[in-house]
């Protein structure tokens, strides 16, 4: 040690005789990226709660705010910050999925009331609201979660174009865990899901590689996970908070991954359904579609005896007879249904319920549930629509499913822009490819490309398979020469609805096209067949818009023993059918257990 090092500490004594200096304003402006008080853009914020979840000090709690309503993709809540707990670590800003939250560089706030140090940024106005300096989430390439989806493997168009085998391969274990790891567990998706599935919980089970827990979570609100994991309309993904800055989670494919891992023979042990007590109450369910299957599943767990009456050879309704096998293979349908039947649910196949049979059900069962779906196609009614080579899409899809040979000419036009229209377009494209080695099918619709009701992926995949999608045209007439269809005349569609939202399409009659075709397929919507309900019973029922039966929150009609669900009530959507089947089961159970 040098002499300098020894004497250095004694130099401090020189400060003893110096005059102290006092700064009159010691609080200076913070550095440009100093972490001070919070700001929140409440219009960009979706109330996902990621900030609350990551805060180790519990300094953030989500609270309702006047004027902000709960809606799809927005919980209606906003973060309240308690500065008695906050340590300004900025993790809340870093994890924010919408970049609405940040920290200003303001760090002075004088108050004698500690309760004032709790406030809702963006709602409770403060003097730093206009400050831009401070800590903002550094973007791009600064995220706690992956921004891109794990790519789903599938057969390329040239491999699948002449085949009806399932073309989506599903995730491997490594892929599923990697995709699940992107979830921030905010739960925004749960409210949007019609069945309110425990999405964050089953995704967490995937991360933990606990498929049994994942399956238990699925079956709490969805007894058709194999089916739904393939063809669900996945509105949950539309509101996924991660999708605000990147790609939303592949929630549907993660659901499918869980269902695919466990054979149905193991379900009873995992779901604890080996020995279910059955009472003496009997419920008849008409139609074996998703709504009836869902209702029967939950009613069985409640101890009731369920019998489903199905007019076709197999169960599944429009899932089996309206969705092509390349999207939904039959063994996936059978797996879900096999487990429901194993609970004691009886399905009587090839049983058509007419008016007389329906009367029998009323007399012999304690409650009746109708879930017959929408099996009647709607016609455009344009000149030529009554030609024998003008078909309904649902009729053709059913025949394809049943293995029947359908008419497959070289040129086909499909009228419609929904998922069913895409299903028949892609099915015909495959059949043309098999028969002629080339595809000549055109799908056209009133809606523009941006407003087509079909899932975007369906449109993209149809084009990959060489189908032509030409939207924004209104059908005017089908040209017939010497008894043969020559094609479809269309005019440009300018708008579909009037100012009050009513269907009232407007056309540019001078902007015309002609689509050559030997066959035309109409796919503009579906209707219900209620011919089995007698006039006497119809007089007791209440009907709403578009001829749909009015029901209460438990899907009970104005006739107390009759419940109605599925597409007849909420339109064609499997997950809605599953959800209202579950709710109907609760209603039927309440009805059966109420003293009369």
Name the percent of the chain lying above pLDDT 70.
Answer: 98
Task: Give the pLDDT confidence score for residue 24 in this predicted structure.
Answer: 63
DSSP 547: G
What b-and-e string marks burial along 228-266, b requiring 16 or more CB atoms within 10 Å of the CB? Answer: bbbbbbbbbbebbbbbbbbebbbbbbbbbbbbbbbebee
Q: What average pLDDT does the segment 533-549 reach?
A: 81
The residue ranking higher by pLDDT, 375 or 431, is 431
Is residue 336 scored above 80 in pLDDT? Answer: yes
Helix axes 574-592, 290-301, angle to 10 degrees: 40
Do 284 and 222 form a contact (C-beta atoms < 8 A)? no
Is residue 540 scored above 90 in pLDDT? Answer: no
Q: Which of 308-312, 424-428, 451-455, 539-543 has the lowest mean pLDDT?
A: 539-543
Is residue 23 scored above 70 in pLDDT? Answer: no
Model pLDDT for residues 225-274, shown as the tens digit of each residue: 999 999 999 999 999 999 998 999 999 999 999 999 999 999 999 999 98
Q: Which of 21-30, 332-341, 519-528 has the lowest mean pLDDT?
A: 21-30
d(CA 440, CA 518): 11
Task: Give the pLDDT confidence score for residue 1 in this predicted structure.
Answer: 62
Task: Give the pLDDT confidence score for residue 115 in this predicted structure.
Answer: 87
Task: Give the pLDDT confidence score for residue 526 in this predicted structure.
Answer: 82
Query: What would the two tokens of residue 153 be?
Result: 């493997």
d(CA 415, CA 412): 10
Model pLDDT for residues 52-92, shown as the tens digit of each residue: 999 999 999 999 999 999 999 999 999 999 999 999 999 99
Task: Give the pLDDT confidence score for residue 18 in this predicted structure.
Answer: 77
Q: State the average pLDDT for the chain.
A: 92
d(CA 462, CA 157): 9
Task: Give the pLDDT confidence score for residue 205 in this predicted structure.
Answer: 98
Q: Which of 125-129, 163-167, 224-228 has the lowest mean pLDDT?
A: 125-129
Task: Give the pLDDT confidence score for residue 113 in this predicted structure.
Answer: 87
Q: What's CA 9's distance to the chain center, in Å?
A: 72
Most confident of 406-420, 536-550, 554-568: 406-420
Q: What average pLDDT does the segment 343-366 reach?
A: 93
The residue ranking higher by pLDDT, 536 or 20, is 536
Model pLDDT for residues 266-299, shown as the tens digit of each residue: 999 999 998 888 999 999 999 999 999 999 999 9
DSSP 414: E
Is residue 596 scored above 70 in pLDDT? Answer: no
Q: Rounded to two decimals, what is the model's pTM?
A: 0.89
Task: Give the pLDDT confidence score for residue 302 in this predicted structure.
Answer: 96
In order of start, what are the domains of the chain with their CATH numbers? 38-135 (3.30.70.3270), 157-269 (1.10.1060.10), 277-375+543-592 (3.50.50.60), 376-525 (3.50.50.60)
Task: Give the pLDDT confidence score for residue 545 in this predicted structure.
Answer: 74
Q: What average pLDDT does the segment 213-217 reach?
A: 97
The residue ranking higher by pLDDT, 30 or 204, is 204
């Amino acid at each position: 040690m040098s002499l300098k090092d020894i004497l250095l500490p004694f130099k401090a004594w020189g400060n003893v005789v110096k005059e102290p200096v006092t700064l009159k304003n010691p609080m200076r402006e913070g550095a440009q990226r100093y972490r001070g008080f919070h700001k929140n853009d409440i219009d960009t914020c979706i109330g996902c709660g990621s900030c609350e979840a990551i805060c180790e000090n519990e300094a953030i709690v989500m609270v309702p705010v006047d004027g902000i309503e709960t809606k799809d993709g927005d919980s209606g809540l906003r973060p309240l910050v308690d500065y008695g707990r906050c340590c300004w670590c900025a993790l809340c800003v870093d994890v924010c999925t919408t970049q609405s939250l940040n920290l200003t560089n303001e760090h002075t706030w004088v108050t004698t009331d500690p309760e004032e140090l709790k406030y809702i940024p963006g709602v409770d106005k403060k003097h730093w609201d206009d400050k831009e300096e401070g800590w903002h989430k550094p973007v791009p390439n600064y995220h706690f979660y992956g921004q891109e989806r794990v790519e789903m493997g599938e057969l390329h168009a040239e491999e699948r174009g002449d085949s009806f085998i399932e073309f989506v391969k599903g995730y491997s274990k490594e892929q599923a865990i990697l995709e699940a790891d992107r979830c921030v567990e905010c739960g925004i998706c749960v409210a949007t899901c019609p069945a309110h599935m425990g999405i964050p919980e089953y995704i967490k089970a995937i991360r933990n590689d606990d498929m049994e827990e994942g399956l238990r979570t699925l079956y709490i609100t969805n007894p058709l996970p194999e089916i739904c994991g393939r063809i669900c309309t996945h509105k949950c993904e539309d509101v996924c908070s991660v999708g605000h800055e990147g790609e939303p989670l592949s929630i549907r494919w993660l659901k499918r991954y869980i269902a695919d891992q466990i054979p149905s023979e193991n379900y009873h042990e995992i779901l604890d359904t080996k020995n279910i007590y059955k009472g003496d109450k009997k419920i008849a369910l008409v139609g074996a579609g998703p709504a009836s299957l869902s209702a029967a599943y939950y009613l069985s767990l409640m101890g009731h005896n369920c019998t489903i009456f199905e007019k076709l050879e197999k169960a599944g309704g429009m899932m089996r007879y309206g969705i092509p096998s390349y999207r939904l293979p039959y063994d996936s349908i059978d797996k879900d249904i096999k487990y429901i039947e194993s609970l004691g649910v009886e399905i009587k196949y090839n049983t058509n319920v007419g008016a007389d049979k329906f009367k029998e059900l009323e007399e012999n069962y304690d409650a009746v549930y109708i879930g017959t779906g929408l099996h009647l196609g709607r016609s455009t009614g344009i000149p030529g629509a009554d030609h024998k080579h003008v078909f309904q899409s649902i009729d053709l899809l059913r025949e394809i499913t049943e293995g029947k040979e359908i008419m497959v000419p070289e040129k086909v036009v499909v009228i419609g822009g929904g998922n069913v229209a895409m299903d028949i377009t892609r099915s015909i494209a495959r059949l043309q490819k098999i028969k002629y080695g080339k595809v000549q099918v055109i799908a056209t619709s009133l809606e523009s490309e941006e407003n087509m009701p079909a899932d975007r992926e369906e449109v993209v995949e149809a084009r990959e398979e060489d189908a032509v999608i030409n939207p924004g045209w209104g059908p005017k007439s089908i040209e017939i020469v010497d008894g043969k269809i020559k094609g479809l005349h269309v005019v440009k569609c300018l708008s579909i609805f009037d100012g009050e939202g009513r269907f009232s399409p407007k056309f540019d009659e001078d902007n015309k096209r002609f689509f050559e075709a030997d066959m035309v397929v109409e796919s503009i919507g579906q209707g219900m067949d209620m011919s089995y309900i007698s006039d006497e019973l119809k007089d007791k029922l209440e009907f709403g818009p578009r001829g749909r039966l009015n029901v209460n929150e438990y899907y009970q009609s104005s006739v107390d023993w009759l419940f109605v669900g599925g597409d007849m009530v909420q339109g064609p959507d499997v997950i809605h059918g599953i959800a209202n089947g579950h709710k109907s089961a609760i209603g039927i159970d309440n009805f059966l257990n109420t003293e009369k």
